[in-house]
Amino acid sequence: MDPFRTQHSPAVPAGPDPGDTDEPGDTAGSRAQEGWPGQDYLDGLQRGELYFQRCRWCRTAVYHRLLCPVCASPDLDWEHSSGTGVVRQATVVRRSTGTLRTVGLIDMAEGFRLRATLSGVTADHVRPGTVVRLDPHAARPRELTFRPGGDDGTEHHRTARP
């Protein structure tokens, strides 16, 4: 007898039975992967696109959250980002391999903030307010990389938000 289960609480099954499938060749694991909402985000990264979440209740834009930080709603939709943002802060990170990379906090045009690698620049050449754009040809999969410049490829500066 389980010491944590009371007499009136029902037993909870350990999980779906892998042999109990709806279709031949279909497993519970493949069904779970198809329904995972973050798969749109990962597929978008492979195509060089960025997706973020927006709360259905208060319309707050967030990046990789389970709950909205404003209203605590779990009801978040995935939306496509323009891929353009403004550097808030930049620094250099030394990897365990000894290589250096520039990392920045970026305020995206849609209203959320994220941390990403900045390619083609060093931290001393990136000022707060530098406009950056998602680099769709980043060498590292599943890692966000941005490069300086707006839609026309030129580097712009604007006043960073407080």
Q: Is residue 153 part of a domain?
A: no
Q: Do the domain assignments include residue 22?
A: no
39 and 65 together in one domain: yes
Give 11-43 pLDDT, tens digit per residue. Answer: 433 434 444 444 444 433 433 344 566 777 778
pLDDT at 64 over 90: no
On the question of pLDDT at 157 being above 70, the answer is no
142 & 107 share domain: yes
pLDDT of residue 140: 63
List pLDDT tens digits, range 112-147: 999 999 988 887 888 899 999 998 877 566 678 999
Q: Which domain holds residue 70?
A: 28-80
| Mean pLDDT score of the chain | 75
In this prediction, residue 73 carries a pLDDT of 95
Instruction: Indicate if 58 and 98 belong to the same structural domain.
Output: no
71 and 111 housed in the same domain: no
pLDDT in the model for residue 139:
55
- Whether 101 has a pLDDT exceeding 80, the answer reads yes
23-42 b/e (C-beta count within 10 Å ≥ 16 → b):
eeeeeeeeeeeeeeeeeebe
pTM over 0.85: no
Mean predicted confidence (pLDDT) in 92-108: 88
3-state secondary structure of 121: coil
- Strand 113-118 with 145-148, pairing: parallel
Same domain, 129 and 99: yes
In the chain, the N- to C-terminal Cα span, in Å, equals 59
- Asked whether residue 76 falls in the same domain as residue 90, the answer is no
- Percentage of the chain beyond pLDDT 70 is 66
The verdict on residue 121 lying in a domain is: yes
Q: Confidence class of residue 161 from pLDDT cuts 50, 70 and 90? A: very low
Task: Note the pLDDT of residue 162.
Answer: 43
Q: What is the dihedral of CA 82, 86, 92, 95, to 10 degrees?
A: -20
Same domain, 101 and 132: yes
| pLDDT bracket for residue 150 (50, 70, 90) | low
Cα separation, 46 vs 76, whole angstroms: 22
CA distances (Å), origin 160, targets 85, 88, 105, 128: 11, 6, 11, 6
